[in-house]
């Protein structure tokens, strides 16, 4: 019996497909009542058990508040996070039916009007998620990573020292160091008026599902405490080569602003924060010859030049 099958048995479930194997190994399963669900085998050493339990609590609270997010499901013995023989822990969340918002590296489908409508809906969903979170009282011991200034730009950022990526040449490393200094100053100013709160922190196309009722969010594995506009910047980090990027950015901001105030001038800066962080993420995770390294570096340098020259 494989580790995944052992984990599924704790819910009395059968594995129907392997979905992804990145930070966590994720499998589609069928529960005893016939319902579909997602089984996650959590990567050793990435999130602490306390942090995973906190993520599950937050998702449960959001689902209870009516947000379209996966709801955590207990095992047959009532455990939310049972341990596995190999040292990992497992969790199961409810299934959300939908199609992916898009695919990384591929142009978004549809007309500009259709893409803008989806971005507007997504912006409104992110604002609703932040509003619902602000109304919660976090339990004692709640623990999640920090996507604050130090978590993004400190000496040891959560996803690594992006300016030290081994494939950066001298000019590239210097450019990313300048971007880091520039962004730190911008975020320090922003911090005087924008409080830190819980954010999804990984609102990528594959983590957004389009359903009959609008967009839904999955995969809260990287969620943590940060600036709320980082969620918008993450969305837009995958739109930088879209020909109608300015319209998509405006639509996302319009949707968000329909429920919550935002400083639109800071959105490109938080997009820069995400593309820099992505360079750091790739360095230890992908083979040295993987093309994503160079594409992430090129994107970060391009957007850093754009933002530091005053581009919107």
Residue with token string 């609703």: 128
Pairing of strands 25-30, 36-41: antiparallel
The two tokens of residue 105 are 């590296």
Residue with token string 């940060």: 226
Q: Where are the domains of the chain?
A: 3-95, 100-308
For residue 164, the Cα-to-chain-centroid distance in whole angstroms is 23
The two tokens of residue 212 are 């009959």
Residue with token string 């995969």: 219
Cβ burial, residue 142 (10 Å; 0-12/13-18/19+): middle
Question: What does the pLDDT read at residue 20?
Answer: 82
CA distance 295 to 123: 26
Give, in degrees to the nearest 5, the angle at Cα 268 between 178 and 231. 110
Q: Quick check: do 3-95 and 100-308 share a fold? A: no
The two tokens of residue 159 are 């996803």
Cβ atoms 180, 154 nearer than 8 A: no
Digit-coded pLDDT (tens) for 37-92: 999 999 999 999 999 999 999 999 999 999 999 999 999 999 999 999 989 999 99
**Which alpha helices (H) appear in 135-228, and where do they start and end?**
149-153, 170-191
Question: What does the pLDDT read at residue 21?
Answer: 79
**Which alpha helices (H) appear in the chain, and where do they start and end?**
3-9, 49-64, 112-134, 149-153, 170-191, 229-237, 245-257, 267-285, 291-308
Cβ atoms 26, 19 nearer than 8 A: yes
The CATH superfamily of 100-308 is Aminoglycoside phosphotransferase (APH), C-terminal lobe (3.90.1200.10)
Instruction: Look up the CATH number of domain 3-95.
Output: 3.30.200.20
Classified as helix, coil or strand, 88 is coil
Cβ atoms 42, 88 nearer than 8 A: yes
What is the total residue count of the chain?
312
pTM of the full predicted structure?
0.97
CA distance 191 to 79: 38
Cβ atoms 162, 300 nearer than 8 A: yes
CB atoms within 10 A of CB 215: 21
The low-confidence residues of the chain, meaning pLDDT below 70, are none
Pairing of strands 214-217, 146-147: unpaired
């Amino acid at each position: 019996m494989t580790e995944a099958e052992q984990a599924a048995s704790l819910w009395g479930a059968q594995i129907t497909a392997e979905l992804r194997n990145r930070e966590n190994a994720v499998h589609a399963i069928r529960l005893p009542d016939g319902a579909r669900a997602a089984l996650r085998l959590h990567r050793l050493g990435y999130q602490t058990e306390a942090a995973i339990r906190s993520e599950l609590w937050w998702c449960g609270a959001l689902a209870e508040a009516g947000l379209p997010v996966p709801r955590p499901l207990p095992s047959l013995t009532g455990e939310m996070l049972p341990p596995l023989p190999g040292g990992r822990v497992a969790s199961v969340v409810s299934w959300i039916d939908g199609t992916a918002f898009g695919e990384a590296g591929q142009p978004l489908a549809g007309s500009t009007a259709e893409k803008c409508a989806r971005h507007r809906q997504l912006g409104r969903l992110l604002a609703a998620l932040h509003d619902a979170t602000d109304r919660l009282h976090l339990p004692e011991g709640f623990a999640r990573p920090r996507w604050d200034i130090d978590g993004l730009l400190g000496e040891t950022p959560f996803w690594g020292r992006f300016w030290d990526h081994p494939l950066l040449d001298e000019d590239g490393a210097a450019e990313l160091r300048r971007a880091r200094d520039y962004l730190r100053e911008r975020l320090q100013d922003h911090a005087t008026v924008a409080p830190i709160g819980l954010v999804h922190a990984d609102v990528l196309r594959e983590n957004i599902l389009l359903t009959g009722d609008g967009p839904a969010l999955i995969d809260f594995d990287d969620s943590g405490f940060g600036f709320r506009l980082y969620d918008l910047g993450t969305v837009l980090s995958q739109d930088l080569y879209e020909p109608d990027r300015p319209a998509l950015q405006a639509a996302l901001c319009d949707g968000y602003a329909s429920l919550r105030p935002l400083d639109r001038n800071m959105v490109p800066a938080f997009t820069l924060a995400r593309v820099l962080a992505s360079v750091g993420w790739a360095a230890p995770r992908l083979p040295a010859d993987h093309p994503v390294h160079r594409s992430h570096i090129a994107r970060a340098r391009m957007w850093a030049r754009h933002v530091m020259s005053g581009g919107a």
